[in-house]
Structure formats: structure tokens, C-alpha cells
Amino acid sequence: MRHPLIRIFFTGMLVSFLGSLPLGTLNIAAMQLAISDGVLAAMLFSTGSLLVEIIYVRLSLVAMDWVRKQEKLFKILEWATFVIVVALAASSFYAALHPSVEKNIILSSSLPPLVLGMMMCAINPVQIPFWFGWSTVLFTKKILLPRKDHYNTYIFGIGLGTFLGNCVFVFGGLLIARKINDNQHVLNWVIGGIFSLTALIQLWKILKKKDAVHDIANPEEMQHRIEGQADRMMHDNSE
């Protein structure tokens, strides 16, 4: 892996893939869509979310000075994300309590899954400081250079990593659904619980000022945290 573009591609893909694995609003939503509306709807949803994520990555590379000045906007988006996650939890619990309702009424709406994925990702500002931090670390370590070919390769790797991470939830959710067969309400209870936990974590971060706004306002602290993660990841890959 001596060629720098190959290294950049796999670094972006690995960071994105691992970042997509913790339980979150988007991957759980993709999983629930796969169960209720099928693989195609879930894949379109995931594609929409990764398209917006790629735009956010590009912003983190070339327009971070402007992004840092948008604290009020990010605060509004964080509260909007909290409200949507609460609504997703309530919809899942409603479906669990009413067996005749098999789908989450928010996710399985008339809105195209691609557009829904784009909208839900767009209002989730946590991705901007995440990628700003990682990009800064990669710049510092001279892995990523301010060149067009580096940016394009990096973004392509990130898009593929996010897509693969979502596939874990999409096909994992289908496997779980087949295992429980007619106990769809059980899965709705579980998914509702995950959304509820996500909402509580989101609220705690906002109130304790450990959210995306805090990360953007304190880039040195965020960079130090991500540098530790990067060093561990590179050490593991070298073994």
C-alpha cells in the first residue's frame, strides 16, 4: 500500500465504515426500512444519507472557517435531530402496540427514501466535526494533502465505507426479522428502545455542551481526541 492514493482511499473507507457501526439514527432507520419496505428502499435511504455526508466532508476540507461561524444553525439542527429521533421512537412504539401497523409511519411515508435519507443526514450536524477532526489529523500526519486527487479519493473511500457500514445493519436487520418471524412487534419495541436511548444521549450532549457545537468551538480538544483514535487504528493496522 505504498501508493498514497491507495492509502488515502482505504483510510477514508476504514474510518467511515467503523464510524457507521455504532448504533445511531441513520443506520437504525435504514435497518427498519429494510424490514418494513425492503432492501431497495433501505439502499436508497443509505445512498441519500451518504451523498449528504460526502458534501459535509467536502465542507470540512475547504470551508471550515465558514462552518465554525454557524454555531446558532448547528444548535437548531441538533434540537431538530432530537425531535425527529423522539418521533421515530414514538412511531416504533406505536407500531409495537398496534400489530395491524407494521411500519414506522415516519420512515414509511410518501417521501422517497433517497430524499428522506438526505434530509435526515442533512440535519445531523455531528458529522461535520467528526470529519473535520479526522481530516485535520490526516493533514497533520501528511497522509492527506490539499490536492484535488487526494480529496476525490478520500471522499470516494468515505462514501464506500458508509455504504458498507449501512449494509451491515440493512442485511443484519433482515436476518433478525427472519429469525423472529411473526414477532414483528418485538423488533419494533427493540428499535423504539434504541431510538429512545439515542434521543437521551443527544439531549445529554446538548445540555452538557458535549455536542457538535462544542466540538466545532474547541477544535484543539477534538483533534487531540481523534489523534488518539488515529494512532490506535494505525497501530492495529501495522500489526
**What proportion of the chain, given as a percentage, has pLDDT over 90?**
17
Q: What's the average model confidence in pLDDT over 34-38?
A: 85
Q: What is the pTM (predicted TM-score) of this model?
A: 0.79
Residue 236 confidence (pLDDT) above 80: no
Cβ 106 vs Cβ 88: under 8 Å: yes
Residue with cell 409511519: 105
Break the chain into its structural domains and give their ranges: 4-238
Instruction: Give the largest Cα separation in the chain, rounded.
Output: 57
Q: Return the pLDDT at 1.
A: 45
* Banded model confidence at residue 44, pLDDT cuts 50, 70, 90: very high
Lowest mean pLDDT among 32-41, 121-130, 164-173, 180-189: 180-189
Q: Return the pLDDT at 161.
A: 93
Q: Return the pLDDT at 148.
A: 87
